[in-house]
Amino acid sequence: MKGLFPREYSSVQYEINLVNQTCNNDCVAACISMALGIPIEEIKDGAKMIGLGFPMTPFDATKLLCYFGVLGVRQQSDTLYSGNLYKIGVPSKNTQGGLHSILIDLRNGRNYVFDPQQGVEGKKFYGVIPKQYFSPIQIIDLKYGDE
């Protein structure tokens, strides 16, 4: 058994590949899909299995990461530090007054932003780390329960 629930995935996702959101309110699922290297539909199915809806809160995202066996999810308040993979909430560039989630990879000297809206026709996206983001910031330590 991997983590808290049986799962077939055994490797930690180190190289992040962009995953687009499939609808307007599944940016959190897309970020988790990118972080874990699991298809977004499987992430969304996992969310349904544990009774989560969309859009998801940071607490929901933590529960979903634990469902997939990631035990290292920490919250911090304000500062992004080198060496971590973050899921952060930002003001939406496409929905006035809305929130959006993006992934920021600052591991091993990287400075990459992965926005699930990037490449979606007609959608604006974050290409650099935004100056404004919201607490709590989630640090995703890609450690599974049996490693």
Q: Which long-range contacts (CB under 8 A, 24 or more apart) does 120-127 make?
A: 120/20, 120/21, 123/93, 123/94, 124/93, 124/94, 125/93, 126/90, 126/93, 126/102
> Range with the lowest mean pLDDT among 16-30, 52-66, 72-86?
72-86
Domain ranges in the chain are 27-144
Q: What percent of the chain has pLDDT over 70?
A: 84
Report residue 102 as tokens. Answer: 């993006």
Write down the mean pLDDT value for the chain.
82
pLDDT at 115: 97
Number of residues that make up the chain: 147
User: What pTM value is reported for the model?
Assistant: 0.83
- Condensed to tens digits (0 to 9), the pLDDT of residues 69-104 reads 887 777 776 778 888 888 988 999 999 999 999 999
Helix (H) or strand (E) segment spanning residue 45: helix 40-49
DSSP 16: -
CB 7 within 8 A of CB 68: yes
- For residues 23, 25, 28 and 32, what is the CA-based torsion angle, rounded to 10 degrees? -20
Helix, strand, coil abundance in the chain, percent, nearest 5: 20, 25, 55
pLDDT at 145: 46
User: Could you give the C-alpha distances from 79 to 22, 84, 135, 136, in angstroms and in order?
Assistant: 30, 11, 10, 10
